[in-house]
Amino acid sequence: MNHDAAISLQELLMNVNDSNIEATSDAILSSFYVKSQQSVSFLVHNFFIAAYCRPMAMMPLAKLLYSVFSGGNEANCCKFILTAISFENNNAHHLPYYFYFCLMKAGFPQKIILYSVVTLLERSAEKFLYNKQLGDFKDNRIFYGYALFAPELIATNNFEWFQLQIEYYKKDYGIEIYPNVETFFEIFDELKANNWEKYNKQRDYGWTPNEIYMAIQSDDEVKLEQLSHNPNFDVNAPIPWSAFERCEFLQNEPKPVHIAAFFNSPKCLSFLVANGADLHATDSAGRTIIQFAIAGGNEDTRILDREKVSYDGAIHIAARFHRYHQFDSLRAMKGCDLTKDVKGLGTILHQASISNNVKILSFFGNFANQNDTKNSLQLDFNVKANDLRNSTPLILAIKNFNFEATEYLLSLQQVDVNATDKLGKAPLHHACKRGYTDYIKILFKKSSINPNPLDQYHQTPVYFAAAGGYFQTLKELLNHNGVDVNIRDRMGMTPRQSYLDMSMAASIHVCYGDIIRLLKKHERR
């Protein structure tokens, strides 16, 4: 894949607005990204990344993708956009669920969108039931898809299933359901009253429907000053959670000053500071005001500089959110450490890998390839971030389905294709665990790859391809020399024996018999 083409596409998507949809659509239709089913999948994935990084542009992005879809034909594979949308929920860790709603409004078939959000929860439920890791169900991100499509799901008899699942988990497994999910059901009757009047109003708005939030978002300091007269007003009180908030970065109890920094609302920010707002406070995820400013694209940080706020992690967030201009400005600042490992973020390389930021990765790659050691950065492309499960940038790129970032990292001589995370899993484990067949192909292009890495349970990637029911992935893996299906795990089982022991596999996996036969065939060798 041409890395320059990936960078060009990402720059186009990060700058989409209503006025340039047609021109951008024409550029995409003439690009590499509409030449095959595989490349169309990567195209759609980059749209979801752009929706995450540019929440204010979600609707223009949805209109653009629909323009590409409706403007294409079978020859350029645009017909596969629907399939790619349906299965995007398999790949990303932080799906911008509201983007699915924008896609539906832009013209994509409702059945495709509903299939995406329903299968996400059903697959998650099956996984939790099998692994008995039901405690994870309290993660309310799984719930957003249902909350955002309640009217449509009720009409198709899917929402009731979700409610029954919640009660089932609570009663039979004693799971602590996430408080936000409970809160949503408490106000659900109010939201759907009068033919979903309040629900539709809040969903169409697409941000947190809180008066303080809304005043700050529009930089209405007069309205904010009026709200401050309420005896319960607290300048440092966090903004309540809402199922309708489109931006994942704003879903962790941000303070009012964080909202002002994100939306570049200088008048409201000045008002909040004058009334005692704490500029050093973080949200519940530990994010700082400068990180909110960078994520939202706010380049006017003078008031923050006057208050001497910390810039820790700012350049990491610039890499995560594809804020190229701010990245350049921040790295030019005195004392900027491009190799720093920040708590909760890792290094810049980790953040760029998470969001498929090929431009930032190539910036570091160019430094690493310089022969002038005096001027080159002392980079470790295999650095493990303690707060990200000791993952390397390559592992994070694979886990987040970022093919372009994965391919670029593998093109660098310094990248160790066998470096593991804290569970002993190598990149090949992660590719097989997710059924990423194309990633296996490029991983094996590295001659130094270990075809049989062992994790902490002494399991090879073969175990994970089989356990996930990924027949094509397993088939591709076994095509490569050196892959051994006879290695036993700590329980003394081979991959085939372990798979036969999976009580749910036969009922869940369509390819159950094919996988058993394939493993048995290779055991004879």
Angle between helices 358-368 and 403-410 (to 10 degrees): 10
Burial class of residue 93 (count of CB atoms within 10 Å of its CB; 0-12, 13-18, 19+): exposed
More confident residue, 260 or 160: 260
Structure tokens of 309?
A: 């706020």
| Residue 407: CATH number of its domain | 1.25.40.20
pLDDT-above-70 percentage for the chain: 86
Pair 374, 460 in one domain:
no
pLDDT at residue 348 in the model: 95
Q: What is the pLDDT of the chain when averaged over all its residues?
A: 88
Pair 401, 439 in one domain:
no
Pair 355, 436 in one domain:
no
Q: Domain for residue 378, yes or no?
A: yes
Pair 441, 409 in one domain:
no
**Tens digits of per-residue pLDDT, 323-382?**
999 999 999 997 888 999 998 899 999 999 999 999 999 999 887 666 545 445 677 778
pLDDT confidence tier of residue 392, bands split at 50, 70 and 90: very high
Query: Which residue type does 119 have?
Result: T
Last residue of a domain, one of 416, 449, 470: 416
Q: Domain for residue 521, yes or no?
A: yes
Pair 445, 519 in one domain:
yes
Structure tokens of 221?
A: 């300091």
Dist. CA 486–CA 496, nearest whole Å: 9
Last residue of a domain, one of 61, 77, 106: 106
Pair 11, 45 in one domain:
yes
pLDDT confidence tier of residue 136, bands split at 50, 70 and 90: very low
Q: Domain for residue 362, yes or no?
A: yes
Pair 368, 396 in one domain:
yes
Among residues 137, 150, 45, 32, the alpha carbon closest in space to that of 99 is found at 45
Place of tokens 């700012």: 314
Is the distance from CB of 306 to CB of 266 less than 8 angstroms? Answer: no
**Tens digits of per-residue pLDDT, 248-288?**
999 999 999 999 999 999 999 999 999 999 999 999 999 99
Displacement of CA 466 from its chain's centroid (Å): 25
Residues 6+ apart with CB under 8 A from 384: 390, 391, 392, 419, 421, 422
Q: What is the mean pLDDT of residues 390-411?
A: 95
Place of tokens 């995560």: 320
What's the domain range around 386? Answer: 311-416
Among residues 307, 218, 296, 222, the alpha carbon closest in space to that of 254 is found at 296
Pair 473, 408 in one domain:
no
pLDDT at residue 236 in the model: 98
pLDDT at residue 65 in the model: 97
Long-range (24+ apart) CB contacts under 8 A made by 511-520 are 511/469, 511/471, 512/469, 514/471, 515/466, 515/469, 515/471, 515/474, 518/471, 518/474, 518/475, 518/478, 519/462, 519/466, 519/474, 519/485, 519/494, 519/495, 520/496
Q: Is the pLDDT of residue 104 over 90?
A: yes
Q: Is the pLDDT of residue 132 over 80?
A: no
* Domain total of the chain: 3
Among residues 40, 107, 29, 101, the alpha carbon closest in space to that of 68 is found at 29
Pair 321, 408 in one domain:
yes
Structure tokens of 327?
A: 């990245």
Q: Is the pLDDT of residue 472 over 60?
A: yes
Last residue of a domain, one of 106, 136, 161: 106
Residue-wise over 173-207: b if at least 16 C-beta within 10 A, else e? eebebbebbeebeeeeeebbeeeeeebeebbeebb
Q: Domain for residue 516, yes or no?
A: yes
Q: Is the pLDDT of residue 134 over 50?
A: no
Q: Domain for residue 135, yes or no?
A: no
pLDDT at residue 141 in the model: 57
Pair 439, 403 in one domain:
no
Among residues 92, 90, 32, the alpha carbon closest in space to that of 473 is found at 90
Place of tokens 């890998």: 353
Q: Domain for residue 153, yes or no?
A: no
Query: Which residue type does 319 have?
Result: A
| DSSP letter, residue 17 | -
Among residues 301, 308, 252, the alpha carbon closest in space to that of 280 is found at 308
Dist. CA 452–CA 460, nearest whole Å: 5
Q: Domain for residue 91, yes or no?
A: yes
Cβ neighbour number for residue 3 with a 10 Å cutoff = 17
Q: What is the mean pLDDT of residues 470-486?
A: 95
Dist. CA 437–CA 66, nearest whole Å: 27
Q: Domain for residue 60, yes or no?
A: yes
Kindly report the three-state secondary structure assignment for every residue of 425-464: CCHHHHHHHCCCHHHHHHHCCCCCCCCCCCCCCCCCHHHH
Pair 446, 410 in one domain:
no
Which of 342-346, 378-382, 415-419, 476-480 has the lowest average pLDDT?
378-382
| DSSP letter, residue 376 | S
**DSSP-assigned states of every residue in 312-365:** TTHHHHHHHTT-HHHHHHHHTSTT--TT--BTTTB-HHHHHHHTT-HHHHHHHH
Pair 93, 29 in one domain:
yes
Residues 6+ apart with CB under 8 A from 30: none
